[in-house]
Structure 1
């Protein structure tokens, strides 16, 4: 080392080392290594400029990139490289300006400062790479990697479709019955241009369900009637029935039979194609809520739960644990399926609103593990960026809902043509520019919730 490199006291050494961690090249300039110092400063400015450009010019696409495995790998590599270079610059700067070997206390303190600075750089890097790894793992676990039958177009991911329809299923397993029953079934029909969304809810106890043309209809030509006391023939049994009876969906592999038949059946009931599905296991959903730290809801009337009235959720605004939220969404004690459908909608809405970025980041690992256990879907990875983009438009658009429950329909003898006609009329109608007053509302028109008023359970 030169005399200048060894001539710094404790204060100057610590100040230059700290300054070099904030602006590369400061220590090099102090020891008259001007070319190296200026090159480091230039590299630092370029790096910061690149980061700021990405965060500003591409801010609307960052969430879309976060669901693409190849971009997550690129992000991980970039972050690690930057952290290694940054740490190397800090250590290099320390070596240039550290106190002489005779100043043992000074060397100890500057060494401790350097290690602390390196820790400050490496710790968030490790955290960011961990998040990227978990995100990539979730995407690869939940979403199919390719769409062999329907290639995604780069410029128009929806291939010219005016609407895309997502089937949202809530699966409820129980110890006293085999398999999973889809007790919650909602189709979200989304306008691909505006994000305007209409939710169509179907009750679990819909009977004499007509299957679309094919093997299932050949087996049940007059509607689904089940196969015994454990399966009396309700809509919520079709998913598991298809899994247990391959002949209903010939040529479809296990774990895809249920989704295939329920998508086709519900699409046929509503008269619209169902493009994709997502099934949320209710017990896994409770784990997601626990990972979030609970969910706050307003309970207007006390809710009794359990076959033997084991518990009570008092009225009032409270934060529910996963187990309590599960009972809030599934209890039918002293109520019925249709009230429960309303509470489930409220619960999903509350979770969506309260899952803010900080909450997600703070419990990301637990949320990722719970999500992998709780959700299954056929939404392809290639389409995730487009879905993220569409979801942003959905947030700013009007969301309407229409639930096909009594008195709008008879669940024992449903009028299938009426349901399809109502869906067609609803999708053709434009959302009202304002919300009508209670005196102006006409059931079945713009105020789609008026016939059953399920949303009244939400605060």
Structure 2
């Protein structure tokens, strides 16, 4: 009978210890230490209530903090301190409620149970701390450190923010990269309304910005004949290969600097920053997600040597398959490929839900650091997070400068600038701004997001 009572006492003490880990102060109140118990319980309730409120009521603010290295350090430290405090409370609670007389086996087993409880407390908080530190590493590795202070309101006096989005592709037979995908995202800083302007990679006779680049190519970019045809997608690598094109700019920055200036002249927009995604690295991101589901309307040739087909239908593509889904031009052309690339990016964005991201966070972080490059400064990220929250609930339109509107062999660059000016001046909710011959066959407005997509290639 005594052994049975002792067993019950051990079970009760362990239950109270577990309860104190879930709600600080429970064991203290049980043994009559009301002041300490109430104080611990009050602190715990305040911490939990503040955390839950922040998660549900202040998500944009939390996202802004989540891209600031200093706050990420703080989050990691707070997670570890919370774990240490909870472990301390649990151990002290067990000391208060454990039976006075225990056999040696019962003492060892109860100590082991408390140790396991402490491990269960530490593990999730250690994981949170690791996620915070990995996030900090991503932010500091991918985004630039700005020596000039960022204003409290960086959008003051600026109606729009224009960011150049690049998809870079390399090939075994050629050195360097080619920016085969070029899109300007023009975002209204007040409403978040966004227009995506797609530029074909094969625009010729591209006017170069004033300075050494125009001095070398006074009649438009000519590349390196007979080795290259002189297309827009060559400008980035050409600047990297010839430092005198952008004097005073270090290696790795010359390409994006000249391309931003060039695209600014083409579009008439002031492009301040760029984001470049390496397509090979993009395949790693998709693999880290576990693949991406898309609906393929027509079979697509897979591989450089036509190894097979990505057959029509709704299917989950691996990173390699998705890469060829966005890269292949066999039996199609650049403009259909541009449409597939937008479909692919849209699918990835939709399927990168919080559960998927958390499940593969470290793999995604590693792939992102290897695939993404940008000159967006770290200090600007909180403001961009705020702006992206407006974009999420705003109108997104897309416009491709492709034939028959634009003859890529002899482009009318003044027409491109006029079209852009007209589109940006039109109300965001007016679909007719995108109607007419400027849209390729098969383009429709996506009813859920206001975007224009290519119906003929995917859904």
TM-score normalised to structure 2 length: 0.92
Render the CA deviation track for 1:52-110: whole Å, top value 9, x for unaligned. 34334423311111111111011111111111011001011111222234333432343
State the match for 2:61 in structure 1.
Answer: 61
Question: Residue 139 in 1 paired to residue 139 in 2?
Answer: yes
Contact 2:60 2:389 (8 Å CA) reproduced: no
Contact 1:239 1:261 (8 Å CA) reproduced: yes
Q: Secondary structure of 1:275's partner?
A: strand
User: Partners of 1:20 and 1:50 in 2: how far apart?
Assistant: 19
State the match for 2:98 in structure 1.
Answer: 98
The 5-angstrom pairing of residues 366-381 of structure 1 reads: 366-381=363-378
Question: Residue 442 in 1 paired to residue 436 in 2?
Answer: yes
The 5-angstrom pairing of residues 55-454 of structure 1 reads: 55-148=55-148, 151-154=149-152, 156-433=153-430, 435=431, 441-444=435-438
Task: Identify unmatched segments of 5+ residues in structure 1.
Answer: 1-5
Q: Secondary structure of 1:291's partner?
A: helix
Q: Secondary structure of 2:275's partner?
A: strand
Task: Identify unmatched segments of 5+ residues in structure 2.
Answer: 1-5, 446-451
Contact 1:441 1:450 (8 Å CA) reproduced: no
CA shift in 2, pair 1:228/1:442, >3 Å: closer
State the match for 1:3 in structure 2.
Answer: none
Q: Which moved more, 1:53-62 or 1:397-406?
A: 53-62
CA drift at 1:450 = 7.1
Q: Secondary structure of 2:421's partner?
A: helix
- Number of equivalences: 445
CA drift at 1:206 = 0.7
Render the CA deviation track for 1:120-154: whole Å, top value 9, x for unaligned. 21010111011001000000001112252xx4221
Q: Secondary structure of 1:384's partner?
A: helix
State the match for 2:3 in structure 1.
Answer: none
Q: Which moved more, 1:368-377 or 1:300-309?
A: 300-309
CA shift in 2, pair 1:362/1:277, >3 Å: same
RMSD: 2.2
User: Partners of 1:305 and 1:13 in 2: how far apart?
Assistant: 64
TM-score normalised to structure 1 length: 0.92
Q: Which moved more, 1:197-206 or 1:227-236?
A: 227-236
Q: Secondary structure of 2:454's partner?
A: helix
Contact 2:276 2:373 (8 Å CA) reproduced: yes
Contact 1:307 1:333 (8 Å CA) reproduced: no
Contact 2:287 2:318 (8 Å CA) reproduced: yes
User: Partners of 1:412 and 1:7 in 2: how far apart?
Assistant: 87
CA shift in 2, pair 1:40/1:432, >3 Å: closer
User: Partners of 2:171 and 2:379 in 1: how far apart?
Assistant: 35
CA drift at 1:29 = 2.8
